[in-house]
Amino acid sequence: MASHGQPEPDAEFPLSGLQARTPEERYGLALEKAREALRRQDPQIKGWQSGADYYPDETGDKGYWVLQFWGEDYRITYPEGEVRHAATGETPPITEQILMLHYLATADGNPMASQWAAFRELPGGLAYDAAFQGRTAHRLTAAFGRDVEGFIRAARALGGERLAFGDASFLFRIFPRLWLAVVLYAADEEFGASASVLFDGAADHYLPTEDLAVLGGLLASRLIRAARRG
């Protein structure tokens, strides 16, 4: 999760010197910095650049965005930057709040590339590709390398759209202008199984590379959980 110069998520909690025990302790400062970064920007422009709908109040000084994240609407207030599920009013996990705020703040309206890119092809991605593959591809391969049908069921449960790559592949429209794909090659007598998480080629116009790594890991985790639920 990009934190603009703050300690990495696994670093010790900076205020106490103790290991962070909750997501709020670990990411609380990053959340406040994300809110502050978004507060300094024009909300109408951010709505256009990100594909979110912005609704100002009567004064024009306050308002809120409605942003789609994983097929569901979230209401994000301006200038406070508070994130809630539009239908239920529930607050999502803090890491997802930060991803949504960073998406709004980073989005520059660049057209989507309509071609897929590996993580290593993203700005700065090569240096962290091994860690990213451990977080995504290796886990997906272990979970689905011999269970293509299980992967298909899990991907459909998450709203994935079928693609034509590999033995099975799906597109996931996680944000309005930030799409990911997962491609699975099943094991056979000659080759071992493999999986890969891909990004639209313009993904870096909508999230920093660190956050794209988090998003890829989140996608892998959701697929694995969906498969366990059956």
pLDDT of amino acid 5: 40
- Closest alpha carbon to 71 in 89, 85, 58: 85
Q: Give the Cβ contact number of residue 88 at 10 Å.
A: 8
The domain 116-229 having CATH identifier 3.30.70: the answer here is: no
- Helix or strand run (H / E) with residue 143: helix 137-144
Interatomic CA distance for residues 186 and 192, integer angstroms: 7
For 199-215, give the DSSP string: EETTGGGTS-HHHHHHH
Q: What's 22's DSSP letter?
A: S
Please give the chain's pLDDT, 230 residues, in tens. Answer: 654 443 344 433 344 445 557 877 888 899 999 999 999 999 999 999 999 999 999 988 999 999 999 999 999 999 999 999 999 999 999 999 999 999 999 999 999 998 999 999 999 999 999 999 999 999 999 999 999 999 999 999 999 999 999 999 999 999 999 999 999 999 888 889 999 999 999 999 999 999 999 999 999 999 999 999 97
Predicted confidence at residue 19, as pLDDT, reads 59
Q: Where are the chain's structural domains?
A: 23-106, 116-229
0.85 exceeded by the pTM?
Answer: yes
What is the pLDDT, as a whole number, of residue 11?
36
* pLDDT the model gives residue 12: 34
Task: State residue 50's pLDDT score.
Answer: 98
- Gap between the Cα atoms of 29 and 14, Å rounded: 10
Which stretches does DSSP call E strand in the chain? 53-56, 63-69, 72-78, 83-85, 116-118, 161-162, 168-175, 178-185, 194-200
Quote the mean pLDDT of the chain.
91
